[in-house]
Amino acid sequence: MTGRGPFGSDAEVEAIGTRLLDRTLPKAEWTHAAHLAAAAWILAARPDLDAAREMPGIIRAYNEATGVPNSETRGYHDTITQASLRAVRAFLAAQPPGTPLHAACNRLLASPYGDKRWPLAHWREETLFSPAARRSWVEPDLAPLPF
C-alpha cells in the first residue's frame, strides 16, 4: 500500500464516484484521475451496476449536466471508456487481497494507465479519435489489449 498519490482515503474515491452518479462533481474535477477513480469505485463498490453497459449513460448524463455536448468530437467516447473499464478491472484484480481502493487507485495512476494517452499504444490516433470509435467500440488496430 502506498500513501503517495492523489487519493488519501477510500472516502475520497467514493466521493468522486457518487458525485459522478448524482451529477454534482464539478466539471473541473472530472480529470483523468477522476475518470479512473470513478471506474474503480463503480467496479469495486457497486456490483449492482453493470459498468460496461451503464457507464455510457452515466457519463453522457454527467456531460449534459455540466454543459459538455456528446457529439462526434466532444463528450462521451465509447472505445476509450470501454478500454479503460477493462484496464481498471484487470488492474484491480491483480492487487493483493485487502488493498484499500484508494491505494489501488494511486497505484493505477502511477502505472502506464495513469497516462491518459495509454490507448495510443493500441490504436492509431486517427482510429481512436474517429467518430466511429467515439460512438461505439472499435477494436485496437495497433496492438491487442493485454487483458
What is this structure's pTM?
0.95
Q: Length of the chain, please?
A: 147
Tell how many helices (H) and how many strands (E) occur in the chain: 7, 0
Give 13-63 pLDDT, tens digit per residue: 999 999 999 999 999 999 999 999 999 999 999 999 999 999 999 999 999
Give 115-137 pLDDT, tens digit per residue: 999 999 999 999 999 999 999 99
Domain boundaries of the chain, sorted by first residue: 10-135
